[in-house]
Structure 1
Amino acid sequence: MAKKVAVKVDERELLVSNLDKELYPDYGFTKAEVIDYYSRIAPVLLPHLTGRPLTVKRYPHGVDGHFFFEKSVSRRAPEWIRRINLPVPGSTKNRESIDFAVVDNLPTLVYYANLAALELHVPQWRVDDDGRVLPPDLIVFDLDPGPPATIVECCEIALALREVLRSEGLDSWAKTSGSKGMQLYAHWDGREEPSEYARRLARLLEKHHPKRVVSVMTKTARPGKIFIDWDQNSPAKTTVAPYSLRARARPTVSTPLTWKEVESCERPQDLVFTAPDVLSRVEKRGDLFGRA
């Protein structure tokens, strides 16, 4: 029987369990530390989750065990968790709609951390207070390195993409994926369909850097190149949220970067940040996400 402990989070009562379970066994990082990280990072994380329907990646037996994606809110979830019912065309479970959670407060964030929802993924659009879907407010370019390329090469392409976006009147900012790649974001003004716009720019970069960039999803075309995944802007797609943990051997985090860090990256390890690193960065620098 899992040992449960009652805690109070912003006037909400929660039961947390298995606090000493090592969710990152190679690093000795426990569920208690996962909950502590999400609780402490919440002031800068929550603004980027608020209004965005949540998809989580859960690892109940730790990063070395079985995992699963979860979109719908459990029937056993507390009633105070905000739910938004949205259509899911093409659902693999033949569902016409799903009740998504919207994480806009600390108790909801702690609830999901206790479920070993290590990774938090959100779309580039929000819903309003009445649950109506709003137009996309962000556009994202997901830069995925095909080995032997690394995040070092991602940074080089990110700088080239930054200049293209600037020429289009868009300021951009970057974050690590927390895994092997990185993402470039810009505020979106609705000038055209975002996936088509992102694909056009990905193809432009591919044209100018054919030996370094690929814009097609065929995996055989990716070795040694940076795949610019433009399709992350599809309304049905999500991207790992800034400040989300990742399920790697170490508790790495999808970390907002300065352009100086992107420009000076020489080794992949230069841009690897763990949960303690990110807490320290935020204490010193505040929230870098959204700063061009």
Structure 2
Amino acid sequence: MRDRKKILLTGINGQVGFELERSLQGLGEVVAFDRSRLNLTNLDLVRDAVRTTKPDLIVNPAAYTAVDNAEIDVAAATRLNAETPAVFAEEAKRIGAALIHYSTDYVFSGEKGEPYVEDDPVNPQNVYGKSKLAGEQAIAASGCSHLIFRTSWVYGTRGKNFMLTMLRLGASRPELAVVADQIGAPTWSSTIATMTADVIAQAIGAGSAGWNDWWHVHSGLYHMTASGSTSWHGFAQAIFRLSNLESKPIVKPIPASAYPTPACRPTNSRLSNAKLGERFGLYAPDWEDALKLCMRAL
């Protein structure tokens, strides 16, 4: 195997992909794809991209993330979140490459009273969660070397996310009602990208002779979120507290039952990162510390 690793990266216009393209520089030759270069809904094109690129590692943050729309557009969610990852896994197995993929807290029901660990029973309550779980299962079944990182409540300085929505609405409304009985860890996309790069650096550090063994030993499922937890209401309060809005809105707490959505969301989205720390020595920052850095980046 060549010394300089080739990394195929998808979804570079998305929140996590955008940050990954920057974090992965220096770790190898990054071959980055956005939607215009690779239509991930076309499985033949996905296969061709892998076979043409011949990567040592595939990093796939691309996903269908419109949770409520997925309840209607089941086929699209299934294609991007289950079928496309399955093809990446099959091709990775065929050429001896490794695969890094991202999943979600929504694979769980949210009924557990403590943070979820990786081997807790899964029970997704919406189409999005079911499609992401199918992707996880397809990757594991392929037999390829892989890391699946489950994360939660992702936000960043670009795209569509809770933080940017709150700032937009807060600039024009004196009061906002935000759900206060769903708990999770808001996770900055840059945190995910940085920790992923750290993991890849550890694999590269094993050297060419130890690359395949490293992936064999470490393959599996890991949780990767910010430390600590809050509610959507608490998240919104922190966003406005750290913002530079001249007039900040009042944030009113409401139950999820008062804000019905097409997709059911978990009450408890907390994930334990203990396994990530034990295997890789990585510990994510507290969610509010990361939010401060993200708000500065705005």
Higher helix share: 2
- TM-score for the superposition, normalised by structure 2: 0.27
Higher strand share: 1
Tell me which of the two structures has the higher relative contact order, counting C-alpha pairs closer than 8 angstroms and 6 or more residues apart: 2
- TM-score for the superposition, normalised by structure 1: 0.27
